[in-house]
Structure 1
Amino acid sequence: MSMFVSKAALHNGLDLIKASPTEVGQVEHIVCRPDIGKRQVLTEATLDLELGLVGDNWQARGNRKTPEGLAHPDMQLNLMNARVIGLIAKTKSRWQLAGDQFFVDLDLSPENLPPGTQLSIGTAVIEITAEPHLGCKKFIERFGKEAAMFVNSGIGKSLNLRGVNAKVVQPGKVSVGAKVAKLRV
């Protein structure tokens, strides 16, 4: 049995993904990336204006898209729909391989959450940014070519199946099971 999901199974999961809540959802999984290639599953996380997810290597890792390779301020946090990763990863123990920090049961499509939309997440507030979040070479290695093609396809992009980037606008705590709710555009 392949550890990768077939194209047919991915497309068969679209209705479940499209049924994600649009206004109020839930945090299903939190992952901290303390170092490159390392993952730490958390039950609670602290969000900070400067650091993003406290303990994560976002700031130290930097970004090749910015001058001098500094951390990209609009890519502080990554959120992915829990239904998408559940379909792609097959088992929850593999969710952390995606590299996102928050897996939420919420419609992340640009139609529902255009850039600038603020979300309450636990006691924190984050803002969806315009930076695209797409499947890359590492995503292909971890979840297969079909999964990467699925999230990067026209329908995948129209639903932000690979997820969204965000930044912290109000610090706070977030725990698994916390509400994530749309505040305003």
Structure 2
Amino acid sequence: MMDIELNSDSVGDPTRFVTLLELERGLANLHPQPRAAGRVVLIVRRLLAGAREVLNEIVLSPDLGVPGDSWGRQREKLLDAQIAVVQADIAKLIANGQSLALFGDSLFLDIDLSNENLPPSSRLQVGEAVLEISPLPHNGCLKFKARFGQDALRFVSMQPYRHLNLRGIYMRVTSAGVIRTGDPVRVLSRNQMDDT
């Protein structure tokens, strides 16, 4: 477990901001992510005042999500936004050497998070826990812009890329369990989207 010197007001290093063209080139050069089985790369908990704690393991729960995370301290908890998840290779591309904890997401996974691969209501086994994909879109915001730049915000918001969920997705815990860095991630079921 390691505390990261970040908080809700933290901004990024402008010398690390990547241009839209560089982000698009980087995306085109990424290796395809696993579609059925991947792994947990990083677990982050958002503490009071937005401080970050990088964890080696945690017990996820349907009631608390990531125990101690800011989601659990909200007065009105939106279950569809219980756990923010991002694809690790995309996060590394955008961060460009900055701490991944700057994102504010709880889980960084090596698995394809696109709508085609994991439509809403699909279920994943993450370590010992089972998580379900939320239909709620995970959008970039002003904090994201301050941390990674205008071009990064534009990149994750552009219509041609929306189906890739470059900013990430939300999940909720349906079955409690321990997850650890390096644990396997496995698709249990995919919701079949209605094409009619």
SS at match of 1:131: strand
Q: Select which of 38, 41, 46 maps to 1:33.
A: 46
Aligned length: 177
For structure 2, the residue ranges without an aligned partner over 5 or more in a row are: 1-13, 191-196
Identity rate, percent:
39
Supply the distance in 2 between the matched residues of 1:160 and 1:16 (Cα, whole angstroms): 17
Does the 8 A contact of 2:50 with 2:70 survive in 1?
no
Query: Which residue number corresponds to residue 169 of structure 1?
Result: 174
Task: Kindly report which structure 2 residues correspond to 1:21-100, keeping only aligned pairs within 5 A, or say none.
Answer: 21-62=34-75, 70-91=76-97, 94-100=99-105
Give the drift of 1:36: 3.2
Supply the distance in 1 between the matched residues of 2:171 and 2:100 (Cα, whole angstroms): 19
For structure 1, the residue ranges without an aligned partner over 5 or more in a row are: 63-69
- Give the AA of the match of 1:159: L
Supply the distance in 1 between the matched residues of 2:50 and 2:30 (Cα, whole angstroms): 28
Note if 1:19 corresponds to 2:32.
yes
Give the drift of 1:17: 4.2
TM-score of the two chains, using structure 1 as the length reference: 0.91
Query: Which residue number corresponds to residue 158 of structure 1?
Result: 163
Query: Which residue number corresponds to residue 66 of structure 1?
Result: none
Give the drift of 1:16: 4.2
What do you get for the CA RMSD once the two structures are aligned?
A: 1.4
TM-score of the two chains, using structure 2 as the length reference: 0.86
- Deviations 1:97-139 (Å, cap 9, x if unpaired)? 1110000111101110000000000000000010000110000
Supply the distance in 1 between the matched residues of 2:48 and 2:74 (Cα, whole angstroms): 8
Task: Kindly report which structure 2 residues correspond to 1:137-152, keeping only aligned pairs within 5 A, or say none.
Answer: 137-152=142-157
Supply the distance in 1 between the matched residues of 2:65 and 2:157 (Cα, whole angstroms): 26
SS at match of 1:139: helix
Supply the distance in 1 between the matched residues of 2:130 and 2:88 (Cα, whole angstroms): 19
Query: Which residue number corresponds to residue 134 of structure 2?
Result: 129
Does the 8 A contact of 2:134 with 2:171 survive in 1?
yes
Give the drift of 1:165: 0.4
Query: Which residue number corresponds to residue 105 of structure 1?
Result: 110
Give the drift of 1:59: 2.0
Query: Which residue number corresponds to residue 183 of structure 1?
Result: 188
